[in-house]
């Protein structure tokens, strides 16, 4: 792969208007997600984090590449594997870690936990624990912004297994019928919990599920943050300018178990190692080095910075108070 | 006899019924090589094969509807819903199609829906539900909720053999926390029969599932502390209810605490209270008390969840109030 690249006369991002700062930000976000979650896994092991915790490790390029081209007034919906996307949207690592710790300073004030991050001020609309439950909400938001005459775009992440729920088809049809400014990003990491996609899908190409609705669609290399960025830019333009939906299948892979309690016997170590060779952070890092955007020492500096940030997040979470009982009663009704 | 956990008891019951009857098959998400979300069916696919351990795609409506369709043409499906919370995605199948099919067609619909239920594992709002009240209201469905390994095994076997759809509520927190003696010979626990887990004279605690253990702890504490004699009645079956057992306990003690982990309002405790009121009013020495989770969604944060849920201490307080009445 490397040699092939050396022959390239243009950087992979040459066709995109991406400043060096933006490129570095993209890299930094991916690295922050990775280190944040590695630390979360440790804290889970120590019992500081409870319940269910699904790591995004391996899939960072999908989330960061999809979110980076968005505007501040756009909306993001996702499922329970939400830490990475929240961080990519600029939610603070402190608030995210505190949520995992169940503290009042957490992004969901300790009420939601790992699966239910949100920040309405950033258009980050969750974090949803019922598989297939959130895409209709995303379509509803897209409907509303169109109705209100805003040119906001809504993006909706979902795992590939969620496309087996009937509601997936209900909402794709509606999104196309109503010409909604929405982008469905299906993160195909090959597995729904312990079930390989080959055992769960009739047909070969997942993105063709959108064909029945004649929706713009395609597959993207979700391990390549620049390719994600590029395809998303096209889809965002289509949504914003033409008010039309897109369905993108982002082909990716999770390096860790489905959740913290997954022994992973349904796949081989070889398979995991094969994908790790395509680690999205390492690949992008080496591209940035090759095109002199980041030096080795600059990368090391970033690592240091992020390590300190994650450490601070853990200390913040640890020192934060527990939510008070009152919050339980305060918000059941408006 | 074998000393096994609650979850092992469920697995063993399923295994034995599958060995016994070829029309029994399992259907659900990740129940094959993965062994199920909680590993209840670990090793099943290797032994019984793919035809009888049917790993489905992620689609609860399809699972529940397909189980119903198979049941009415001679099969005995056992559907696993990974968490009881997710049964909501297949709600229409159960409350419309499954529940009414015998009433309309007069054919048996022998199926079981396993529903890992309950809070206390920091699952947050969508992985902690107790679903019984949603279905209790729907004629045509039976509901059971075992609290011990003995009952867990006996009830799963009875549920599989029953000619009606049975919702089998297994409590996630009991899975690996509760152990008990379970016969290795064939037995069932009859659906519709409760069980007095502790005899007493002063107050009846009517309860089921995880709360049985808290009630037993509370009874022990109060016996030792103030010599109070508490009877703990484990319903085991929520639909149909063992009303005879309930009334006889109430007639004996005259005071009642109904305890369930589900939240109070619209919970099945309200129905039990009404039944006692209608049938045992003259025996009551105090207003019936209820205890359950507070009426909010389930919070994630551990101290909040602890406050949200009923526990042994809260049972003790409620019983002391009843004793003082
Ligand atoms: C309605 C519903 N059914 C089942 C589950 C349990 N569950 C959680 S994640 C998951 C697999 C989903 O896989 P996929 O959509 O591919 O997302 P991934 O975990 O790979 O990100 C399952 C079965 C759930 N949360 N909600
Ligand atoms: Mg997946």
**What's the pLDDT tens digit per position in A58-94?**
999 999 999 999 999 999 999 999 999 999 999 999 9
Distance of CA B186 to the CA centre of its chain: 21
Which residues in chain B have Cβ-Cβ distances shorter than 8 Å to A200? Answer: 57-58
The ligand that comes nearest to the alpha carbon of residue B36 is 1
CB atoms A332 and B85 under 8 Å = no
Tokens at B206, concatenated: 């009517």
Count the Cβ atoms, other than its own, within 10 Å of residue B103. Answer: 10
Write out pLDDT tens, residues A308-317: 999 999 999 9
Ligand 1 center from residue A273 Cα (angstroms): 24
pLDDT number for residue A330: 85
ipTM, 2 decimals? 0.95
Tell me which residues of chain A, numbers 188 to 227, contact chain B at a CB-CB cutoff of 8 Å. Answer: 192-195, 199-201
Pairing state between β B256-263 and B289-293: parallel
Q: Is A162 in the pocket of ligand 1 (CB under 6 A)?
A: yes
pLDDT number for residue B97: 98
What is the torsional sign of CA A294, A300, A301, A302?
positive
CB atoms A110 and B37 under 8 Å = no
Which of A132, A187, A193 has most ligand 1 atoms within 8 Å of its beta carbon, as the pocket-test mutant?
Answer: A193
Give the span between the Cα atoms of A204 and A168, in whole angstroms: 18
- Kindly report the nearest CA distance between residue A138 and chain B, in angstroms: 18
| Measured torsion, CA atoms of residues A199, A205, A210, A215, in degrees rounded to the nearest 10 | 170
For residue B171, indicate whether it is catalytic. Answer: no
Are residues A46 and A293 in contact, defined by beta-carbon separation less than 8 angstroms?
no
Give the span between the Cα atoms of A151 and A149, in whole angstroms: 7
Q: What is the mean pLDDT of chain B?
A: 98
Mean pLDDT (whole number) for A265-290: 96
Q: Ligand 1: which residue has its CA nearest to atom 22?
A: A193
A156 contacts chain B (CB < 8 A): no
Domains in chain B: ranges and CATH:
2-182 (3.40.50.970), 195-324 (3.40.50.920)
Residue A277 exposed, middle or buried by CB count within 10 Å (0-12, 13-18, 19+): exposed
Ligand 1 center from residue A193 Cα (angstroms): 6
- Kindly report the nearest CA distance between residue B213 and chain A, in angstroms: 22
Pick out chain B residues at pLDDT < 50: none
Pairing state between β A182-188 and A154-159: parallel
Q: Is A189 in the pocket of ligand 1 (CB under 6 A)?
A: yes
Ligand 2 center from residue B1 Cα (angstroms): 42
Under the banding of pLDDT at 50, 70 and 90, the label for residue A4 is low
For residue A324, is pLDDT > 60? yes
pLDDT number for residue A6: 54
Nearest to B34 among A104, A195, A325 (CB): A195
For residue A8, is pLDDT > 90? no
Ligand 2 center from residue B226 Cα (angstroms): 56
Which residues in chain B have Cβ-Cβ distances shorter than 8 Å to A131? Answer: 58, 86
Q: Ligand 1: which residue has its CA nearest to atom 2?
A: A131
Nearest to B57 among A113, A133, A164 (CB): A164
Which residues in chain A have Cβ-Cβ distances shorter than 8 Å to B176? Answer: none
Which residues on neighbouring strands pair with residue A221, listed in sequence order? A251
Under the banding of pLDDT at 50, 70 and 90, the label for residue A1 is very low
Q: Is A82 in the pocket of ligand 1 (CB under 6 A)?
A: no
Q: What is the mean pLDDT of chain A?
A: 96
Backbone torsions φ then ψ of B232, nearest 5 degrees: -115, 115
CB atoms A51 and B124 under 8 Å = yes
For residue A2, is pLDDT > 80? no
Tell me which residues of chain A, numbers 124 to 143, contact chain B at a CB-CB cutoff of 8 Å. Answer: 128-133
CB atoms A115 and B86 under 8 Å = no
- Kindly report the nearest CA distance between residue A44 and chain B, in angstroms: 12
Are residues B300 and A102 in contact, defined by beta-carbon separation less than 8 angstroms?
yes
Pairing state between β B142-144 and B237-239: antiparallel
Write out pLDDT tens, residues A213-267: 999 999 999 999 999 999 999 999 999 999 999 999 999 999 999 999 888 889 9
Report how far apart the first and last C-alpha atoms of chain B are (Å, whole number): 43
- Catalytic pick among B47, B102, B122, B127: B127
Under the banding of pLDDT at 50, 70 and 90, the label for residue A7 is low
Name the percent of chain A lying above pLDDT 90: 94
Tokens at A128, concatenated: 């949803």
Question: pTM score, two decimals?
Answer: 0.96
Which residues in chain A have Cβ-Cβ distances shorter than 8 Å to B55? Answer: 195, 199
Which residues in chain B have Cβ-Cβ distances shorter than 8 Å to A110? Answer: 299-301, 304
Which residues in chain B have Cβ-Cβ distances shorter than 8 Å to A266? Answer: 33-34
Are residues A235 and A246 in contact, defined by beta-carbon separation less than 8 angstroms?
yes
Q: Which CATH superfamily, name and number, covers A12-73+130-199+217-314?
A: Thiamin diphosphate (ThDP)-binding fold, Pyr/PP domains (3.40.50.970)
Ligand 2 center from residue A274 Cα (angstroms): 18
Q: Is A258 in the pocket of ligand 1 (CB under 6 A)?
A: yes
Coil, strand or helix: which one is A168? helix
pLDDT number for residue B248: 98
CB atoms A192 and B32 under 8 Å = no
Give the span between the Cα atoms of A162 and A168, in whole angstroms: 7
């Amino acid at each position: 792969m490397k040699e092939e690249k050396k022959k390239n006369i243009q950087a992979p991002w040459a066709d995109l208007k991406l400043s060096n700062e933006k490129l570095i930000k993209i890299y930094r976000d991916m690295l922050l997600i990775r280190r944040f979650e590695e630390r979360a896994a440790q804290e889970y092991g120590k019992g500081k984090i409870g319940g269910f915790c699904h790591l995004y490790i391996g899939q960072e390029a999908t989330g960061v590449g999809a979110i980076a081209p968005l505007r501040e007034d756009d909306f993001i919906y996702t499922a329970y594997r939400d830490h990475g996307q929240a961080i990519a949207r600029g939610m603070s690592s402190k608030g995210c870690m505190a949520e995992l710790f169940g503290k009042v300073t957490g992004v969901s004030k300790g009420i939601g936990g790992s699966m239910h991050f949100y920040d309405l001020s950033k258009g980050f609309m969750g974090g949803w624990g019922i598989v297939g439950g959130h895409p209709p909400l995303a379509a509803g938001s897209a409907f509303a912004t169109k109705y209100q005459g805003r040119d906001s775009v809504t993006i909706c992440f979902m795992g590939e297994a969620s496309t087996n729920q009937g509601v997936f088809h209900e909402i794709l049809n509606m999104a196309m019928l109503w010409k909604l400014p929405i982008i469905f990003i299906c993160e195909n990491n090959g597995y729904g919990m312990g079930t390989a996609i080959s055992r769960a899908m009739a047909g070969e190409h997942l993105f063709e599920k959108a064909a029945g609705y004649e929706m713009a669609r395609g597959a993207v290399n979700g391990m390549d943050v620049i390719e994600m960025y590029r395809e998303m830019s096209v889809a965002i333009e289509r949504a914003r300018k033409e008010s039309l939906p897109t369905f993108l299948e982002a082909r990716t892979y999770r390096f860790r178990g489905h959740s913290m309690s997954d022994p992973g016997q349904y796949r081989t170590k070889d398979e995991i190692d094969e994908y790790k060779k395509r680690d999205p952070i390492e690949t992008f890092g080496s591209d940035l080095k090759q095109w002199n955007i980041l030096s080795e020492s600059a990368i090391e500096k970033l690592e240091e910075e992020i390590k300190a940030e994650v450490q601070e997040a853990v200390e913040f979470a640890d020192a934060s108070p527990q939510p008070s009982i009152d919050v339980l009663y305060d918000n059941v009704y408006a | 006899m074998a000393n096994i956990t609650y979850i092992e008891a469920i697995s063993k019951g399923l295994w034995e019924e599958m060995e016994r009857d070829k029309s029994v098959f399992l259907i659900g998400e990740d129940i094959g090589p993965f062994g199920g979300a909680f590993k209840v069916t670990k090793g099943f696919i290797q032994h019984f094969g793919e035809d009888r351990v049917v790993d489905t795609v992620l689609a609860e409506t399809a699972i529940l509807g397909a189980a119903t369709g198979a049941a009415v043409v001679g099969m005995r499906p056992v559907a696993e819903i990974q968490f009881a919370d997710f049964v909501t995605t297949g709600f229409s199948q159960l409350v419309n199609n499954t529940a009414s099919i015998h009433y309309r067609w007069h054919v048996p619909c022998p199926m079981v829906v396993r529903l890992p239920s309950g809070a206390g594992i920091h699952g947050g709002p969508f992985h902690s539900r107790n679903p019984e009240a949603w279905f209790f209201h729907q004629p045509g469905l039976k509901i059971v909720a075992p609290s011990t390994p003995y009952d867990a095994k006996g009830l799963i076997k009875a549920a599989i053999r029953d000619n009606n759809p049975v919702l089998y509520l297994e409590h996630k927190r009991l899975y690996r926390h509760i152990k008990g003696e379970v016969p290795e010979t064939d037995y069932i626990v009859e659906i519709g029969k409760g069980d007095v887990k502790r005899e007493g004279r002063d107050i009846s605690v009517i309860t089921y599932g995880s709360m049985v253990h808290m009630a037993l702890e509370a009874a022990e504490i109060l016996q030792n502390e103030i010599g109070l004699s508490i009877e703990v009645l484990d319903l085991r079956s929520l639909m149909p209810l063992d009303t005879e057992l309930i009334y006889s306990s109430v007639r004996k003690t005259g005071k009642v605490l109904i305890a369930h982990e589900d939240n109070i309002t619209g919970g099945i405790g309200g129905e039990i209270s009404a039944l006692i009121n209608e049938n045992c009013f003259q025996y009551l020495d105090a207003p019936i008390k209820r205890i359950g989770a507070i009426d909010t969604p389930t919070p994630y944060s551990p101290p909040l969840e602890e406050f949200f849920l009923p526990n042994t201490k809260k049972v003790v307080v409620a019983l002391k109030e009843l004793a003082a009445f």
